[in-house]
Amino acid sequence: MTSSHRTPAGVPSSETRYRLLVDAVTDYAIYMLDPDGFVTSWNSGAHRLKGYSEQEVLGRHFSRFYLEEDVRSGRPQRALAVAEKEGRFSAEGWRVRKDGSRFWALVVVHAIRDAHGLLLGFAKVTRDLTERKEAEENLRRSEQQLRLLVQSVTDYAIYMIDPDGVITNWNAGAQRIKGYLADEVVGTSFSRFYPPEDQANALPARALATALSDGRFEAEGWRVRKDGSRFWASVVIDPIHDADGRHIGFAKVTRDATEKRAAQQALERAREDLFQAQKLEAVGQLTGGVAHDFNNLLMVVLSSLTLARRRLPAEQHGVLRLLHNAAKAARRGVSLTQRMLAFARRQPLSPTAVDLSKLVGDMAELLQQSVGPTIELSVQVPRDLPKAVVDSHQLELAVLNLAVNARDAMPDGGRLTIAGRLAMFGPSGEEKREALCLEVTDTGVGMDEATLGRATEPFFTTKGTGKGTGLGLPMVHGLAAQSGGQLILSSHPGRGTTAAVWLPIAAADDHAEPVEPDQQPHGGSTVSPRAILLVDDDALVLDSAASLLEDDGHTVLRAGSGEEALRLLAAGSHIDLVITDYAMPRMSGTEFVAQLAKLGHHLPVVLASGFAEAGDVGPDLVQLNKPYNQDELRVAVEQALRMKQILS
């Protein structure tokens, strides 16, 4: 009779079932050791994992699965000792297969005892974690490389902040850009890098909120270094989430863009300067051309008025007065064309060594009369300043223009200061050098930025219709530029305006200011009548100039071009003197003079021009500026004939 605890026939015993269960496990090596560490059982998982069959390992010591260095250090024995003492041993480490290859193993050893506590042996379970180990190692290497990469970046401040904005790490670039060591900032709020005004406006908190809501925050702005200095920063903040999508902080990248911003601003200024220069050049070309043609017309008017006044009987007082007024108006037109040509840098200049202290001092009375009694005039030009290279007459006109502008800016009175100084000066991008500065400063209404930007534009004025030509400042601008200097305006609404005229210093060998010639009319020519060849492409100018010469008794041959004049000479016409216009089509005045010399006609020549382009006409030519009157024409003729005698 079979007892109730017996296994029914055909049913495996519990021991058999246990063996079948253990042997069916293939992902784990499960085997038994005796108390000395010799293998007493071996499952299929052990066979698969370690490569040994049951016959190859039974009765063998389990240390054969350890690395040689581990065996020498006694690691297998220590594992059993720990399991015997504590009941369990668990560890990870390298193990060796039958073929000598290594794998990363998770090992658990349990001590097995009988009912009386006697140690029967050990149960050992091993799992192959090589893939996990490799993945962890790859992740560790990747993290290490990333850490090294971030730490090696010095051009960018790269660091982490927690959800509350507290800094959690710090790279070398952050230390270089912001000036803080890691232990100075880790654990503190990143808002410390913002200027006080941005902190007061909660800009740091808004930046984090934007990054979290939009997935990214990007901006530029001022930031503060440890030493208190500011730099222009390009900032990017990205939110960081863990694998479960929980927000764990922010990654912040900051780049110092101060130099880039300065370069962009310099480029924008250069573009604006170029645009302004091109605009002024275009207007200047137009203005210069108009002024040149206007000069010719004024010369015709003035010449005709001069001759008409001379030929009217003295008793015609009413008509003479009208002619006098017409001539006065025409001379105002001459002054206007001079301003236009000054702006266009096309008026002929006679630069000399000018004593600024003497020039302004001599003008003081005229300036005070021009600005009126409600304005206090102060002249502060030191007498020991070196001389400036400039056309003294044009500079006087420039100072007068600036004074009148200042007067108009102080309708209720004020203070006008004209000061001179020696200082270092140089246009943007050029080496600075010593130069003279003549400053005209008022305490008037001043100009806003928009008005200041247009102040030197021709015909731009804020004085209202009929109260200004808009050519005063452009004329000063043109004079300064043509003299090798610059006009710099500075102004603020309600705080007045300063016009600084920078001029080059005269060298030791520069000519001194010329002695003023007698301005009184000659009353008649002192030259005996001559045969004069007059050349001008403008028929009205040609007729007017010829009339002035004929009025002095000269015989005039007229030519409308250089080619026509050469034909007259080739025909054998007797000529004592040539007066030619400079600006003529096809053949300019200087080209015509060169042809004269080439053909052997060595005649005294007067070159008439309203342009500065005539330049240095040479020692054997006399230059006559348009529009000229009869007295100026007489002087030029006398000088040319006398110069010819000297050179002969």
pLDDT tens-digit profile of 121-155?
A: 999 999 998 888 887 777 777 666 656 655 666 78
- Is residue 435 situated within a structural domain? yes
Neighbours of 598 (CB within 10 A): 8
Q: Do both 462 and 329 map to the same domain?
A: no
Q: How far is it, in rounded angstroms, from Cα 123 to Cα 28?
A: 12
In a domain, 548, yes or no: yes
Residue 110 shares a structural domain with residue 23? yes
In a domain, 181, yes or no: yes
CA 220 vs CA 164, 201, 572: distances in Å: 22, 16, 82
CATH number of the domain enclosing 538 = 3.40.50.2300
Q: Do both 338 and 375 map to the same domain?
A: no
Amino acid letter, residue 511: H
Structure tokens at 596: 């004269």
CATH number at residue 34: 3.30.450.20
* Token pair for 491: 């102004």
For residue 509, tell me if it sits in a domain. Answer: no
CA 475, CA 483: separation in Å to the nearest integer? 12
Q: 148-197 pLDDT, tens per residue?
A: 655 666 788 888 899 999 999 888 888 899 999 989 999 999 999 999 99
Buried b (16+ CB within 10 A) or exposed e, 397-415: bbbbbbbebbbbbbeeebe
The predicted structure's pLDDT at residue 341: 58
What's the number of domains the chain is made of?
A: 5
CATH of the domain at 492: 3.30.565.10
- What per-residue confidence (pLDDT) applies to 551? 87
Those residues with Cβ within 8 angstroms of residue 348's Cβ, 6 or more apart along the chain or in another chain: 609, 610, 611, 612, 614, 623, 625
Q: Which two tokens stand for residue 260?
A: 């880039």
Q: In what order do the strands lie in the sheet with 433-442?
A: 375-380, 414-425, 433-442, 497-503, 486-491
Question: What domain range includes position 100?
Answer: 14-134
Q: Reading across the β-sheet that carries 88-96, which strands appear in turn?
A: 28-33, 119-128, 102-113, 88-96
- Statement to judge: residues 276 and 414 lie in one domain: no
Closest CA to 438 of 487, 472, 482: 487
38-89 residue pLDDT tens: 999 999 889 999 999 999 999 999 999 999 999 999 999 999 999 999 999 9
C-alpha span between 551 and 307 (Å, rounded) = 8
Distance CA 50, CA 342 (A): 102
Q: Choose the final residue of a domain: 75, 102, 134.
A: 134
What is residue 466's predicted lDDT score, i.e. its pLDDT? 42
Phi/psi at 127 (nearest 5 deg)? Answer: -125, 140
Using the 3D structure, point to which of 344, 362, 378 is the last residue of a domain.
344
In this prediction, what percent of the chain has a pLDDT beyond 70?
A: 75
My answer on whether 389 and 338 are in the same domain is: no
Q: Do residues 365 and 496 share a domain?
A: yes
Q: Is residue 6 part of a domain?
A: no
Does one domain contain both 470 and 591? no
Among residues 647, 603, 542, which one has the least CA distance to residue 592?
A: 603
Domain membership of residue 373 (yes or no) is yes
**pLDDT of res. 273:** 66
Three-state SS for 214-274 is HCCEEEEEEEECCCCCEEEEEEEEEEEECCCCCEEEEEEEEEECHHHHHHHHHHHHHHHHH
What does pTM read for this prediction? 0.40
Same domain as 356, residue 340? no
Kindly state whether residues 491 and 376 are assigned to the same domain: yes
Query: What's the pLDDT at 349?
Result: 62
Residues 334 and 358 in one domain: no
Residue 83 lies in a domain: yes
Q: Nearest 5 degrees, angle CA 586-CA 588-CA 594? A: 115
Residue 520 domain-assigned (yes or no): no
Residues 483 and 423 in one domain: yes
321 and 424, same domain (yes or no) = no
Which of 344, 369, 398 marks a domain boundary? 344
- DSSP at 47: H
Of 272, 270, 276, nearest in space to 456 by CA:
276
Low-confidence ranges of the chain (pLDDT < 70): 1-25, 142-153, 273-297, 314-315, 317-318, 320, 322-324, 327, 329-349, 427-431, 453-472, 508-525, 610-620, 645-648
